[in-house]
Amino acid sequence: MALLERVSTLVRANLNDLIDRAEHPEKMIKQVILDMQNQLLQVKTQVAIAIADQHLLEKKQKEDEDKVAEWMRKAELAVDKKQDDLARAALERVESYRDLSEGFAQQVKDQKAQVENLKTALRQLEQKLTEAQAKADLLITQHRRARAVGKAADAHLTHGNGGHAAAFDRMKRKVAHAEAHSQAKSQIAAEDIEHRLSALEKEDRIEQALSELKAKRGA
């Protein structure tokens, strides 16, 4: 039956594989547990119905067996009373009810097998559900940890080896450039002062030389 096939699929499901293949593992494990709970409820309902049907079949079988015994007593009475026609009619009823009883007996046997199959499926599904519920938190935690580690690794690859180093190098170059620019400005300013002072000194020497020359020339 379709229900047992669905239950069998859930029981055979490998939770770890489902988690590994799932795009959203947390949603997957929660959905699997929900499916198991729904199927478990259906199986419990089917077990109850199957057991009720079995009891009904057993009741019908017992009624037909009682009819067989009842009509056999009537056949015996007819024989005792030398009523062969009545005895034959009673024996025909005996055969009819015996056939019915045997038919119900086979149905009871089949129904018992169906009940056992459903009970087995119910036990397996309950065990699988218990396992899934026990593993759920662990599997979800493992997945979150693995995802966090993966993100950290990606961040390290993106920024750790190249990103941060490159940014640091760029900052060093900017600082070095700024320092060089400041030094150049300072150097230019210093050179300008030195040039002006040198010009004054030169002018002073020329004036001094001119005075000395005038003194020598008596001017």
Question: Residues 36, 60: one domain?
Answer: yes
Question: Residues 181, 98: one domain?
Answer: no
Single-letter residue type at 94: V
* Radius of gyration of the CA atoms of the chain, in A: 53
> Does residue 169 carry a pLDDT above 90?
no
Q: Is residue 177 part of a domain?
A: yes
HEC string for the chain = CHHHHHHHHHHHCCHHHHHHHCCCHHHHHHHHHHHHHHHHHHHHHHHHHHHHHHHHHHHHHHHHHHHHHHHHHHHHHHHHCCCHHHHHHHHHHHHHHHHHHHHHHHHHHHHHHHHHHHHHHHHHHHHHHHHHHHHHHHHHHHHHHHHHHHHHHHHHHHHHHHHHHHHHHHHHHHHHHHHHHHHHHHHHHHHHHHHHHHHHHHHHHHHHHHHHHHHHHCC
* 23 SS3 class: coil
> Does residue 23 carry a pLDDT above 70?
no
pTM score of the predicted model: 0.56
What does DSSP assign to residue 1?
A: -
Question: Residues 85, 183: one domain?
Answer: no
Split into its structural domains, the chain has a count of 2
Q: Is residue 91 part of a domain?
A: yes
Question: Residues 143, 180: one domain?
Answer: no
Q: What is the mean pLDDT of the chain?
A: 78
Question: Residues 14, 69: one domain?
Answer: yes
Query: If you average pLDDT over residues 168-179, what whole number do you get?
Result: 64
For the segment 185-212, what is each residue's pLDDT rounded down to a tens digit? Answer: 666 555 666 767 777 787 777 777 767 6
Question: Residues 26, 71: one domain?
Answer: yes
Query: If you average pLDDT over residues 33-55, what whole number do you get?
Result: 90
